[in-house]
């Protein structure tokens, strides 16, 4: 075998094996993706849900309506269950009670460490999900929590007021996960 022929044979060999390796890897990757199922994979034990108006055991002005609206929107957006307008039409009933509200200093002001620049505001709730057909509870008083930061540059009251819709949205997301995902 001549040197030129040997160089051509050696340089052609690895590329053939490399192409074969890429082909095998591609086939394996595509066959693995064929069995992938989009979504959470959790099967829900009910198809219709009634969300009772949110109640509160603590004084949080106007939060009940805001949280009720956000929870309903979150379930509609998720789409795994259908919301109904009365408990009689529902397979399951969800009751939420706001149980607490707390703020903790997270960042102090650089010019006065006794004053806060940012608070971590937390909204607490408890949820009960009941099978309306058998009257058996799926869960009772399950704790839910939403926390957001509120910067006090324009004052504490406006910061808390602006943070409440964000807390309600986060609490709604937590509620959807608690109700529809695997327990």
Q: Which residue has the tokens 């060999």?
A: 13
Mean pLDDT, rounded, for 59-81: 91
pLDDT single digits (tens) 12-36: 555 777 777 777 777 777 766 555 5
pTM summary value? 0.72
CATH architecture of 48-180: 2-Layer Sandwich (3.30)
What per-residue confidence (pLDDT) applies to 6?
Answer: 47
Angle between helices 63-78 and 156-180 (to 10 degrees): 40
157 — pLDDT class (breaks 50, 70, 90): confident
pLDDT at residue 40, rounded to an integer: 52
Question: What ranges do the domains of the chain cover?
Answer: 1-36, 48-180
- Quick one: what percent of the chain has pLDDT higher than 90? 47
Q: Convert 24-75 into a string of H (helix), E (strand) and C (coil).
A: HHHHHHHHHHCCCCCCCCCCCCCCEEEECCCEECCCCCCHHHHHHHHHHHHH
Mean pLDDT of the chain: 82
The residue whose two tokens read 């102090």 is 108
| Cα–Cα dist 68/51, whole Å | 8
Over residues 91-112, mean pLDDT: 84
- Which comes out higher in pLDDT, residue 76 or 153? 76
């Amino acid at each position: 075998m001549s040197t030129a022929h040997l160089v051509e044979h050696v340089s052609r060999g690895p590329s053939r094996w490399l192409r074969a390796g890429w082909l095998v890897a591609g086939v394996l990757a595509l066959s693995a993706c064929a069995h992938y199922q989009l979504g959470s994979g959790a099967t829900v034990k009910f198809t219709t849900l009634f969300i009772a108006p949110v109640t509160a055991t603590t004084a949080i002005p106007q939060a009940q309506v805001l949280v009720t609206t956000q929870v309903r929107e979150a379930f509609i957006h998720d789409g795994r269950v259908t919301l109904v307008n009365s408990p009689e039409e529902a397979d399951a009933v969800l009751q939420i009670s706001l149980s607490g509200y707390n703020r903790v200093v997270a960042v102090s002001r650089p010019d006065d460490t006794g004053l806060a620049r940012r608070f971590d505001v937390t909204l607490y709730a408890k949820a009960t999900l009941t099978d309306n057909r058998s009257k058996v509870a799926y869960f009772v008083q399950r704790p839910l929590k939403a926390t957001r930061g509120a910067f006090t540059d324009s004052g504490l009251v406006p910061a808390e007021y602006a943070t409440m819709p964000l807390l309600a949205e986060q609490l709604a997301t937590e509620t959807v996960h608690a109700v529809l995902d695997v327990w």
